[in-house]
Amino acid sequence: MPGVQQVEHPVRQHHAATFLEPARTPRHRRAEREEFWVVECHALASLDPRLPVVNPASFPRRVMNLRPALFLLALTALASAAFASREKPVIGLSLDTLKEERWQRDRDTFIAEAQRLGATVIVQSANSDDTRQVRDVESLISRKVDVLVIVPHNGSAMTRAVKSANDAKIPVIAYDRLILNAQIDYYLTFDNVKVGEAQAGYIVPRLPKDRPARIVRIYGAPTDNNAKLFKQGQDNILGPLIKAGKIQVVHEDWALDWKPENAKKIMNAAVTKAGRNLDAVIVSNDGTAGGAIQALQEDGLAGKVLVTGQDADLAACQRILRGTQAMTVYKPLTKLSHLAARIAVEVAKGGKPAATSTLHNGAKDVPSIFEAVIPVDKDNLLSTVVADGFHKAADLK
Ligand code: GAL
């Protein structure tokens, strides 16, 4: 509307004039009042060119008297919008990947609980790409989410994304994996050291006692702080026995990006280097255990060498019943995802929910909650994983 364009310019001239020469006669005061209203109209016009620009002088007095009420109305509208967003918070959920079975379940149960609590969730998955995950978080920040929940692919690479969230005053919750050297608000996870202790603790009593046991160790992704905590837990049990020469680690390595194919390569390399005389493979999760067992199968060793895991994936539970995998560590994911949804909603509403512990991430003691984990083998699979409804007995066949 050509009319709107034109109006814009006179406004600027008007303004300049008013500020330079203070006029104090009644006519000037009325003129000033009228000018203020014009700016408002023009301002509205520049916001929405569909709005006609009219001179308030033509407004009947009773309309002019409505201004305080209108102002109040606007204020209430703003307040209720703020109240509405607090009541219906928007959560930004940034995932490393959806490749593994567990993350799909984390996502679905988290969204369901968040929605039950009245929140909306925007999900981004970075496919194990750090640059992309930083970009994902930046885009969630630009969409003005009320809180960020992040599963970092790389605990260090996300430090700068958290800095952007800090600058935007958006609270950050690290989910399952810790973000390092960053001002995060909460760390919600399982007791990851206990996972490692459960894996090694399951294997040790089942190793030969009459000679040094020969084991292989396949750790998780070196970019994942959890992989170090799992190893620490295993070391707590194995360390003294290795020192005493009761256990020999014939080969060990880290499976990049937790990829099963990388674990298979490590297992192939272990058999090539150390031979087939192996007693156990301590693997950090079920996905990589699947890769290692494929390699053992190629050498006719599947079911003859004890293999550990974690996550109680369906395939792993089937392997446990078939006897090619010895155990897994069951983590009741819905407990963690529901906890995270609850805390995210409370934080988005300005709350400071209590934590049960802290963990130092290099920048601060992060308020943390560590959920319990359950070692599972063929003897208690039905009374844990199936009883919880995590898997159906029929699917385990
Ligand atoms: C870890 C997680 C495990 C496992 C792994 C691979 O951080 O705690 O449950 O799934 O990542 O995604």
Ligand 1 interacting residues, C-beta cut-off 6 A: 100, 102, 176-177, 220, 224, 226, 258, 285, 310-311
Pairing of strands 120-125, 90-95: parallel
Residue 248 φ/ψ, nearest 5 degrees = -110, 125
Give the mutation target among 100, 219, 334 for probing the ligand 1 site: most ligand atoms within 8 A of CB: 100
pTM for this one? 0.81
Query: How many CB atoms are closer than 10 A to CB 363?
Result: 14
pLDDT, tens only, 76-131: 776 666 555 567 999 999 999 999 999 999 999 999 999 999 999 999 999 999 99
Alpha helix positions (H), the chain: 2-20, 26-47, 61-64, 67-87, 101-116, 130-142, 159-167, 192-203, 225-243, 260-274, 286-298, 314-322, 333-348, 381
Q: Which residue has the higher pLDDT, 62 or 86?
A: 62
Q: How far is the CA of 387 from the centre of ligand 1 (A)?
A: 23
Residue 90 φ/ψ, nearest 5 degrees = -110, 120
Q: Which atom of ligand 1 is nearest to the CA of 102?
A: 10
Secondary structure percentages of the chain, helix, strand, coil, to 5: 50, 15, 30
Give the tokens for residue 105.
């379940």
pLDDT, tens only, 365-388: 999 999 999 999 999 999 999 999
> What is residue 237's predicted lDDT score, i.e. its pLDDT?
98
**Structural contact between residues 270 and 231, judged by C-beta atoms closer than 8 angstroms:** no
| Residue identifier of the C-alpha nearest atom 9 of ligand 1 | 311
* Helix H or strand E encompassing 369: strand 365-371
Give the tokens for residue 280.
């156990």
